[in-house]
Structure 1
């Protein structure tokens, strides 16, 4: 019902015929509708977000990748509400790669990330839906010769007295009308779908197996390619002996490219067997060969010094020196892989003057342009068929678009004429880098004789993956992925300083779900918990006293109310944590006991979130639950480590441990009612999880865990 594809799995890009209505809008965040009139039967309408067909279906063009986080549902909900459509008539289609039409208004280019999908589209799609509604109403008013103000719209039906018409019956007439420059938007009290639990629009196609992922895509004459990367980051190919690989049935070719050695075969199994048979000499003279422990030693030595200053208030050093009691703590955060269930993959089919690309792309224009550049064809000759993707957590959002470049290089090396599906296996993914960066964070703080916190100093030693890329902010000298959550804190300390060291490292790193907040929330919230205890303060009241923002206080109070406080029955303990990220306020309480394996057993998590206007409460709860599960599993078990020679020691889920379904705690979520514009949801649920658990664990056992994961030997 909601599939954006036809029966053959080909993405529908054509607009509907003369009986359809196409709404083309160019809307900034505070936006105005385009003044040009919409024309029926247009083969394509610039900035088209809404299509209304004669069969009464309403298709919303989704400009963000859908990898399970819910923008297809959220964006459709916005349009449907302003349009006063019935949810059953809503459909979706994914936008092609086109910056002028479909750019992320917060990025300036097409892309999904930073929990911006709803925030950047909120007014844009409200205006799109409202304009379409106004045109349908005007078409009915002219047809029935009645004032437009007397016409009502509800659940996809336009009416005046006993006269009624469905959207599809008015579409052709409405398409001939001018687009309103300033369509009237609903007030929040008029919302009928926004803020409700409408079912996800892609549930049916995903549960019936008709949703199209890259793994599902087949093209005539296509071959499968897999790659063998160098064993250490920064290595290159010296020599390839491929005789054994070419003898594997189904293998058709072996080619060296700048990224490694590619094996091409008629099927995936043959390609993997061929790769296993390769004999490659690698040049590791410029590779990163340090072990994790060697890196941590270097990082910790740096963090022990003040570093460059990112933010300061008062004289933190003097305040701590004069404190009655102090704490000095060093936190170690490991490399983490994203490990999405569908690893990176793409199908590229070259043709004269261009290529067709099938993939779930997180940076649609960037990756399409990168592929075009490698193939030596113009961007105008490219067609991206955007598909569903099986997770990302940041992995599909690479600043250098290197996976797209690698895949295109594989196509080019084979002659540039054969369709190729380039697939990473789980081992390629976990060994292939672009991890959450390794971080060492030193925190110092003190309380006075009354128990009040008087000073706080944080120094972070971390690698930057933005410096040297278009995402670099040269005004700072560091990037927000290192410092966010420490700088611009929700807490107001009398004296505060944040310092940093940008560490040089050959391990490729990347955004990871909630980015810098994954480590800063843990360090800040566990250290704050200890400082409050050092001063004899209540863990909730002490936080409330330090908070600057009433919205922050509201979520902390709400989660305490939801959980019934921090008292737990015998053998268990509760911990609390708060963190603001991506514009959203989240507080969590965890209840834990000691498991049979000696690690925290988390029984329940309570969460309160203020993410502005709640577009779809079902999606919000799902994202909070998913963020808690993802954060819990990684905090307990997960780390990527490099051994001697810089070799990664984890290659699949047997060595990179994830949360199991039986370990998922009960989760209760309270969504704070708000009139503020929507903010992030996909990522903010994760940062408070690990510190809430750690704070409960310390209360239960007396053990402050300062090196993650909990399962690391240092915490025994």
Structure 2
């Protein structure tokens, strides 16, 4: 990105006296470090990643949303490491919504969180910020004490040389007056003292004591609460609205029509909810999706017999003569994200600007869409990012559905025709219930896969054909690449870690009014299941051990091979198991990380299956915070297991059948298997961990079930095939 080359003076309030702020601005020739004195009480433009206060507190401005994945801890640790700070003096704070300063370089000119890019994207940037802050503090000490900078050491937030010592805050004012070094050395990973160690999470105390602020906790004077009645079928619109009974509910102040439904605005959530129940609405369903999910899958499977858009072609699959041809079809349902905290935002709209509070995952996109809805410019939209109680991709939708709804409702209330304009400027808290999100949200698309492989007489895998049918997530969005297949439909299939001389992958892209969205690990949610289940089936057909079969095919992929070897070693692959138990294995790369799972499954005397143990090996480069890496693998295993065992959004005549956790079944605590996580030692830069634990879980379990029962699972969820 090229940004303004105007020097920005960075200030920080808080405490008495002067502190130091360090950040980066961008010029046409590259990044330039900046530092400036920060005087208490003065206005400031936060254009920084590091703030050093007079009390020696070091605050890291985090440009990525903290939604439970641990970025407030991991990203803060990167800065603390380069500064040689004490962990106790470190704090994390959400950065302002400003893409010019805080863009995610993995996304381009957009500030946002997703694709397991937070640490990957911020690694070098935050190391430089921390190292620059340290260099300035050392230079300040050198001048103050009259000693060479080379004789100064820094440890746990204390700068020392001989008889001299000072905390960061004591040197901050002086440091802020010094010229910023153009280039500072970064630590050799072998010298890390914080990275790679156990560090208490920076969000744990707030969350466990109730001090953490989520969007639903935000309160504003004279705030109103809104809920929306949405059409039961996707693509339908309100035809007639009778709001008389709704307005008669005590606490309801207004009913307004918005593009996606009818909003009821009240003085409390319960009043709004009751008002919505009293609404009488008829819907125009002429453009709605009226098929049930069975019909959609049937239509998709009909496309498996015809060639699609070519994605990958190596050799000539059709020309290969084989001793054995193996075929399989897989189907995958719609999946809801079902984060623990449903969607919520607070909107305060004025004539000259709009302020929003949300667990915001795509700040730049939401600013643009909110501006359009409000009739303002993006720079007039202020977003305050607060904690989010999970997301799994749901809060990062390119239409900013819940944000736009909140702004649209606030704008409708500002109309002079609405109660004479007396509601204009009233803050509005929009709340989606869990039923709202599961019935009328956005889903991982339905996909079907057709697989065909050719084996030689010696069991060698000679040819591989993989056809995918499903709805595009990117189509019509700013991320669509015209003339190219949607990568979110084929990732995990277009490139695989197996050396097969003849390979063809193609894609049929379908359309439907049902809104779809990336779901934790996106395309690899389905492609990895199909690939790893089928490769396991081929190993059996070739009369080879599934691990040995994979090893032969992935000799040119050392990362995958190392992860596979570590997982099977720690799991005791080949060693005896209790009667009625079996193991399954799967390997997948997603978001630049490689994960292997070995699952152990048991079957009781009633034929019920249970996942007893999962051994995970992960190569994610340098593990900045190993505890977070392990937690993310464990979370991915639990999330993925619930999805493959039970997860499905189904529709009857276009209407969603599920509504809450009673009908959209998630994994329960007593169903969580024992999990072991092993991290491959690495000196490479960090890669993603938020999503890569999910893709290999399903096929590892399915392969264990096949080894135990002889039954291959090809249609998800498992509950339609086996007893769990």
Superposed pair shares fold, TM > 0.5: yes
> Aligned residue for 1:635?
644
Alignment of structure 1 residues 458-537 onto 2, 5 Å: 458-476=466-484, 478-537=485-544
> Aligned residue for 2:143?
142
1:540-562 CA-partner distances (Å, limit 9, x unpaired) = 11111111211111000000111
> Aligned residue for 2:361?
362
Moved more, 376-385 or 217-226: 376-385
> Aligned residue for 1:87?
87
> Distance in 2 between the 1:389 and 1:597 partners?
42
1:234 to 1:599, Cα distance in 2 relative to 1, 3 A: farther
**In the alignment, is the contact (CA less than 8 A) between 1:245 and 1:273 conserved in 2?**
yes
> Aligned residue for 1:151?
152
Secondary structure of 1:107's aligned partner: coil
RMSD: 1.8
**In the alignment, is the contact (CA less than 8 A) between 1:38 and 1:178 conserved in 2?**
no
**In the alignment, is the contact (CA less than 8 A) between 1:345 and 1:359 conserved in 2?**
yes
Alignment of structure 1 residues 104-143 onto 2, 5 Å: 104-108=104-108, 109-143=110-144
Runs (4+) of structure 1 exceeding 4 A deviation are 12-18, 595-599, 713-716
How many angstroms does 1:712 deviate by?
A: 2.0
Name the TM-score, length of structure 1 as normaliser: 0.95
> Distance in 1 between the 2:453 and 2:26 partners?
48
> Aligned residue for 2:3?
none
1:176-214 CA-partner distances (Å, limit 9, x unpaired) = 112221111000011111111211111111111101000
**In the alignment, is the contact (CA less than 8 A) between 2:349 and 2:407 conserved in 1?**
no
How many angstroms does 1:16 deviate by?
A: 6.4
> Distance in 1 between the 2:137 and 2:372 partners?
44
**In the alignment, is the contact (CA less than 8 A) between 1:15 and 1:44 conserved in 2?**
no
1:295-328 CA-partner distances (Å, limit 9, x unpaired) = 0011001122221211011111222xx2112211
1:521 to 1:27, Cα distance in 2 relative to 1, 3 A: farther
How many angstroms does 1:373 deviate by?
A: 2.1
Number of equivalenced pairs: 699
> Distance in 1 between the 2:13 and 2:20 partners?
13
> Distance in 2 between the 1:448 and 1:285 partners?
53
**In the alignment, is the contact (CA less than 8 A) between 1:599 and 1:710 conserved in 2?**
no
1:599 to 1:493, Cα distance in 2 relative to 1, 3 A: farther
> Aligned residue for 2:343?
344
Secondary structure of 1:588's aligned partner: strand
Q: Does 1:398 align with 2:405?
A: no
> Distance in 2 between the 1:275 and 1:596 partners?
49
How many angstroms does 1:427 deviate by?
A: 0.8
**In the alignment, is the contact (CA less than 8 A) between 1:27 and 1:124 conserved in 2?**
no
1:599 to 1:340, Cα distance in 2 relative to 1, 3 A: farther
Moved more, 650-659 or 322-331: 322-331
> Distance in 2 between the 1:411 and 1:312 partners?
52
Alignment of structure 1 residues 89-238 onto 2, 5 Å: 89-108=89-108, 109-238=110-239
How many angstroms does 1:380 deviate by?
A: 3.1
> Aligned residue for 2:421?
none
Q: Does 1:701 align with 2:709?
A: yes
1:478-514 CA-partner distances (Å, limit 9, x unpaired) = 2111000011211111211001100111110000000
> Distance in 1 between the 2:24 and 2:45 partners?
9
1:324 to 1:443, Cα distance in 2 relative to 1, 3 A: same
Name the TM-score, length of structure 2 as normaliser: 0.94
> Aligned residue for 1:39?
37
Secondary structure of 2:38's aligned partner: coil
> Aligned residue for 1:8?
none
1:267 to 1:633, Cα distance in 2 relative to 1, 3 A: same
**In the alignment, is the contact (CA less than 8 A) between 1:638 and 1:658 conserved in 2?**
yes
1:37 to 1:385, Cα distance in 2 relative to 1, 3 A: closer
The partner residue of 2:680 within 647, 672, 676 is: 672
> Aligned residue for 1:586?
595
Secondary structure of 2:219's aligned partner: coil
How many angstroms does 1:18 deviate by?
A: 4.2
How many angstroms does 1:524 deviate by?
A: 0.3
1:438 to 1:14, Cα distance in 2 relative to 1, 3 A: farther
Structure 2: give runs of 5+ residues left out of the alignment.
1-10, 415-423
Alignment of structure 1 residues 406-485 onto 2, 5 Å: 406-415=405-414, 416-476=424-484, 478-485=485-492
Secondary structure of 2:505's aligned partner: strand
> Distance in 2 between the 1:361 and 1:200 partners?
21
